[in-house]
């Protein structure tokens, strides 16, 4: 790294998270901590609101491409808050390592390239395991007659008791899925992402889940 310059790259998985600031501020604080740890000069910040799934993830991340270009131009380090903000994909990480740009993950500042590749292998394995367990939980739920993705619009009924009954019924339909999530060790925020990715509708029929909605379902169960 020359002249201690760096370019910050931040990413969240969905536009909804980006609009709410969820995750971005924590990443900014992590990068700020990296700056405070030494005499480092920021040369730019690039924020991506995109999914990183797939081996061609870089093609779907224009902000990362710009961040890499800026790093080359300024001969600066590419700085991210967490390694999994780049990708849980071995081929993607390998390609990034061969891009010619030096980068550092704030949560793993002393990790070398070999260790990063090993970490990406384990992260990809974890992602695949979560996906496999989730699919198994969904299949088991369907076998028990659970109807997934059914919007609970009856919850909008003004009668409190009817709304409560509808909410309990909706939560009951997701019991198998939520049990699978818990068995897989998912955090509540991870459950938000998984429910949205799987296309399971919220109680009011929306496509994207929020943390409070997941907490309410878990509380009813």
Tens digit of each residue's pLDDT (9 = 90 or more) over 29-79: 989 988 888 778 899 999 887 655 554 556 677 888 899 899 999 999 999
Report the percent of the chain where pLDDT is more than 70: 69
| Phi, psi for residue 121 in degrees, rounded to 5 | -65, -45
The pLDDT value recorded for residue 157 is 44
The residue to which tokens 């901590």 are assigned: 33
Name the least confident of 7-11, 73-77, 167-171. Answer: 167-171
What's the pTM? 0.50
Q: Does domain 5-111 have CATH number 3.40.50.1390?
A: yes
Distance CA(12)–CA(50), nearest Å, equals 7
43: helix, strand or coil: strand
Rounded to an integer, the average pLDDT of 93-99 is 73
Rounded to whole angstroms, what are the CA distances from 190 to 13, 97, 175, 217?
11, 27, 16, 14
Report the percent of the chain where pLDDT is more than 90: 14
Domain with CATH 3.40.50.1390 in the chain: 5-111
| pLDDT tens digits along 108-142 | 777 666 666 666 666 667 667 777 778 888 887 77
Determine which helix (DSSP H) or strand (DSSP E) holds 48, and give its type and residue range: strand 41-49
CA 8 to chain centre: 18
Q: Is 159 a residue whose pLDDT tops 60?
A: no
- pLDDT confidence band for 18 (50 / 70 / 90): very low
Name the least confident of 51-60, 87-96, 170-179. Answer: 51-60
Phi-psi region of 3 (alpha: psi -120 to 50; beta: other; left: phi over 0): left
Cβ within 8 Å of residue 58, ≥6 positions away: 64, 65, 92, 95, 96
Rounded to an integer, the average pLDDT of 184-212 is 86
Rounded to an integer, the average pLDDT of 5-15 is 81
The pLDDT value recorded for residue 23 is 77
Rounded to an integer, the average pLDDT of 193-207 is 84
Q: Is 160 a residue whose pLDDT tops 50?
A: yes
DSSP state of 200: P
What average pLDDT does the structure give for the chain? 76
DSSP state of 208: S
- Give 92: exposed, middle or buried? Use CB within 10 Å, 0-12, 13-18, 19+: buried
């Amino acid at each position: 790294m020359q002249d201690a310059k760096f370019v910050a790259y931040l990413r969240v998985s969905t536009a909804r998270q980006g609009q709410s600031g969820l995750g971005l501020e924590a990443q900014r604080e992590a990068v700020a901590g990296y700056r405070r740890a030494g005499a480092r000069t920021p040369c730019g910040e690039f924020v991506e609101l995109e999914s990183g799934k797939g081996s061609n993830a870089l093609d779907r991340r224009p902000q990362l491409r710009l961040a890499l270009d800026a790093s080359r131009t300024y001969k600066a380090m590419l700085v991210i808050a967490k390694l999994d903000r780049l990708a849980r994909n071995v081929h993607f990480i390998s390609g990034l390592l061969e891009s010619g740009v030096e980068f550092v993950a704030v949560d793993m500042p002393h990790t070398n390239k070999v260790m990063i590749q090993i970490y990406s292998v384990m992260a990809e394995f974890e992602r695949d395991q979560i996906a496999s367990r989730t699919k198994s939980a969904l299949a088991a739920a369907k076998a028990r007659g659970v109807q997934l993705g059914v919007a609970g619009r009856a919850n909008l009924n003004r009668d409190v008791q009817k709304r409560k009954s509808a909410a309990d019924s909706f939560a009951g339909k997701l019991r198998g899925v939520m049990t699978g999530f818990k068995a897989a060790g998912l955090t509540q925020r991870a459950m938000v992402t998984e429910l949205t990715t799987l296309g399971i509708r919220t109680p009011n029929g929306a496509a994207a889940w929020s943390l409070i909605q997941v907490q309410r379902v878990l509380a009813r169960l």
